[in-house]
Chains A and B, each alone.
Chain A
Amino acid sequence: MLEIKNLDAGYDKLQILRNVSIKLKKGDLTIIIGPNGSGKSTTVKSVFGLTKRFKGAVLFEGKNLNKLKTHERVRLGIGYVPQGRLVFDTLTVEENLEMGGFGLPTEEVEEKKQEMLKLFPLLETKLDQKASFLSGGQQQMLSIARALMRTPKLLLLDEPSLGLDPKTQAHIFQIVKRINTEGVTVMMVEQNAHQALAICKKAFVIENGRVALSGGPSLAKKKSVQKLYLGG
């Protein structure tokens, strides 16, 4: 479904990723862990063409994305939940949702909006409020709902649990799991390695811009991974 192939990428002249290769099969729930600043977000951003590519390629359903603009890639069916709960602060909750379905027929947007309110009932009473007034957890829900509006085949989430209380974190993981069981392929960057490894099918460890390790949930049993990411 998604193939990142020998990718060298970064910002301007600065190279961050070195020969990164990641392959996702349809239906996978893949997590990416790794230290701060190792290039996890850069990997995710590269899928959307938000970085400078030096070498290699990103393929989606066999199609090379290299030449496509960001908005064209998204329209192929890739959803993005960026790090830092980047909702549109100056737009209302409802407008945020509508932007997630930008370019789709009005009836479809309405339908998806109702579907999202069922999945995230917390948002129902906040529809007319500016997104900046939501709590952190609510903003993260909105960010996920926004990405789902387009009914993506592939959803990329960048540290969705970051800065949230444990209860909200658990809720987010539960929702991600549910989205995946409903057929959406998921790739998620997570610091919260314990919980993430517990729900994933595949995991990649990125260090210094390279894929240092990869494997299944059993990766959690590896000594080096335990020491670095699982607190012992």
Chain B
Amino acid sequence: MAVWAQLIMNGLIAGSIYALMAAGFSLMFALQRFMNIAHGSSYVVAAFIAYTFAVILKFPMWISFLIGILAAAVLGILINLIIFQPLQKQKEKNNALLLSSFGVFLLVEAIILMVYGADVKSFGLPVKVGMDVLGAKVTPVQLVIICMAPVIFGLLALFLYKTKTGVALRATADNETIAKTMGINVRFMTYLTTGLGSALGGVAGILVALEQNLEHSMGMMAVLKGLTAAIIGGIGNVPAAILGGYLLGLAENIGVWYVPSGYKDAIGFGVFILFLLFRPQGFFGEKRREEASG
């Protein structure tokens, strides 16, 4: 029993992080129609900026986190403004966008390496022994991760479904041209999704940095897992991507009960390839109606 409780709890912890990343990917994909790999930099940058303020400059933790998340959002918007918007006009824009987003990600990683060096850093929280939660051992930070993610997703859902701006954002994702003819400023919506998506990635990065530690290269795994989760769920559909994140986390962590734990990542990517082969629209995805336009 305890073993299962632990495996499920581990799955939920990893799943929360994957879901946060996947939600960001999905949100941005819904409007920009390409997989923005540069999303990984929001994860890294938020963690390192928060670290800088909290550990080096001795700001209060909460303020440092908020600054980190804000920095990720601003960076995401700037990247969009300076790099992706001009590329939108290109003919082969999808390839150009995908590749340049990967380039931006590597560039940001290199800058972090240059500024902070290669050694592993940590927020230096006192090591706490795990508490018993429903038969599993969980540290306070892990408990925060598990509880915080659903709250954030709830707020995101409220925004997307209950506010005018949120509905306009979904309308823009549905049909950008028609959204324009409703008086919606589509360019603004793009910046909004980038900022929001990057902030979600920033939260994930800071939570992981708190739970484990910081490295300049920490973003790559987050990108791979977030992308996998988004595609498992159904790309461009935010709730589906979130569920995909939890599914992936649970599959990996319950799977290690059956195979050596060194294969954990392999399980995730195995699931990913199976989805690409047999259900490319994702677990919850539906085929969209062809756009008719005269």
Chain B 257-294 interface 0/1 with A at a Cβ cutoff of 8 Å (1 = within)? 00000000000000000000000000000001101111
Docked-complex contact B170 and A146, CB < 8 angstroms: no
Q: Which stretch, A87-95, A117-125, A221-229, touches the partner chain B? A: A87-95
Question: Which residues on the B side are within 8 Å of A86 (C-beta)?
Answer: 175, 178, 291-293
Docked-complex contact B175 and A102, CB < 8 angstroms: no
Docked-complex contact A71 and B183, CB < 8 angstroms: yes
Whole-angstrom CA separation of A74 from B186 in the bound complex: 13
Q: Which residue of A lies closest to B186 (CB)?
A: A71
Q: Does B171 belong to the interface (CB within 8 Å)?
A: yes
Total count of chain B residues near the partner, CB < 8 A: 24
Whole-angstrom CA separation of A132 from B182 in the bound complex: 18
Query: Which residues of B in the span 178-202 have a Cβ within 8 Å of any Cβ on A?
Result: 178-186
Docked-complex contact A83 and B180, CB < 8 angstroms: no
Q: Does A209 belong to the interface (CB within 8 Å)?
A: no
Q: Does A137 belong to the interface (CB within 8 Å)?
A: no
Q: A100 contacts which of B182, B292, B294 (Cβ < 8 Å)?
A: B182
Question: Which residues on the B side are within 8 Å of A91 (C-beta)?
Answer: 167, 170-171, 174
Docked-complex contact A41 and B294, CB < 8 angstroms: yes
Whole-angstrom CA separation of A184 from B184 in the bound complex: 22
Chain A 89-129 interface 0/1 with B at a Cβ cutoff of 8 Å (1 = within)? 11100010011101100100000000000000000000000
Residues of B within 8 A of A (CB): 164, 167-168, 170-171, 173-175, 177-186, 288-289, 291-294
A-B contacts, 9 listed (Cβ < 8 Å): A71-B182, A74-B182, A82-B181, A84-B294, A86-B178, A88-B179, A90-B174, A91-B170, A158-B294
Given contact pairs A41-B294, A98-B164, enumerate 20 new A-B contacts (beta carbons under 8 Å): A50-B177, A69-B185, A71-B182, A71-B183, A83-B292, A84-B291, A84-B292, A84-B293, A85-B292, A88-B171, A88-B179, A89-B288, A91-B170, A95-B167, A98-B167, A99-B171, A100-B182, A146-B182, A150-B183, A159-B294
